[in-house]
Structure 1
Amino acid sequence: MMINIDTKKFAKAWINSWNSHDLEDILSHYSDDIEVTTPMIKMAIGLESGTLKGKEAVANYWKKAMEKVPDLYFELYEATEGINSVALFYKSILNKKAIEVMFFNNEGKINRMFAYYTD
């Protein structure tokens, strides 16, 4: 089933949620069965797969990450769209550039996300 996502509106809301540091607001974009894969997970907690599954596990990870990086601030460079997905290119933590590819379920919530970072 195709869903209709306003990519620019979503990107702005997603960036604003992260920059607010409001975990509940951040989590509002994600489904309960979210699967997040990022090298930051491997780096931060040593999980070799770099993948966390489920909103609770992801929320715990993000809460700890935001405590470690209290001045977290993302700057959007570009938002692109795909089939039931978006990819955001933005300035991330540690002055890294990031691309996050997010896939949406039928309710318009992110249920899979892959992140990529520059060195």
Structure 2
Amino acid sequence: MISREQALQFANEWVAAWNAHDLDAVLAHYTGDFEMSSPFILQMGISPDGRLKGKQNVRNYWEKALAKYSDLHFELHEVLSCMNTVIIYYTSVNGKKAAEFFAFDENGKVFQAMGHYN
């Protein structure tokens, strides 16, 4: 179970790691075989269904995304939490509003993530 304090800590660490462009720090929050879904994966032609599985595949995608959006900076607005899930509402690239859904395993690592954008 994710406590409110753990949810807030995760969100702040996640945003700080992205703002530092530190993929190792971002990926430290995930299981080795986590699954990621995002319309950006589809738009960038990385995967036809907008999904990737595994840290290395997601790392490759995020490296391309950081190269494309070299001025990437996230602004955290809200952190919502439930039993084993967290949703982070933030401003993403190009001023897009984003809500990222994270499902956590029993070890407190993310095994599934889904990005939602306006």
Normalised to the residue count of structure 1, the TM-score between the two structures is 0.93
1:44-64 deviation per Cα after TM superposition (whole angstroms, max 9, x unaligned): 125221000011100010011
Q: Which amino acid aligns with 2:33?
A: D
In structure 1, list runs of 5 or more residues that go unmatched.
none
Percent identity over the alignment is 40
Q: Alpha carbon RMSD of aligned pairs, Å?
A: 1.2
Task: Please name the residue that 2:104 is paired with.
Answer: 104
CA distance in structure 2 between the partners assigned to 1:10 and 1:46 by the alignment: 27
Q: Which amino acid aligns with 1:79?
A: V
1:9-55 deviation per Cα after TM superposition (whole angstroms, max 9, x unaligned): 11111100100101111111111011000101000125221000011
Deviation at 1:3, TM superposition (A): 4.6
Match of 2:44, SS state, is helix
Bigger shift: 43-52 or 33-42?
A: 43-52
CA distance in structure 1 between the partners assigned to 2:40 and 2:9 by the alignment: 26
Task: Please name the residue that 1:88 is paired with.
Answer: 88
State how many pairs are aligned: 117
Consecutive aligned runs of 4 or more in structure 1 exceeding 3 Å deviation: 2-5
CA distance in structure 2 between the partners assigned to 1:44 and 1:99 by the alignment: 19
CA distance in structure 1 between the partners assigned to 2:79 and 2:2 by the alignment: 17
Indicate if the aligned counterparts of 1:3 and 1:106 stay in contact, CA closer than 8 A: no
Normalised to the residue count of structure 2, the TM-score between the two structures is 0.94
Task: Please name the residue that 1:29 is paired with.
Answer: 29
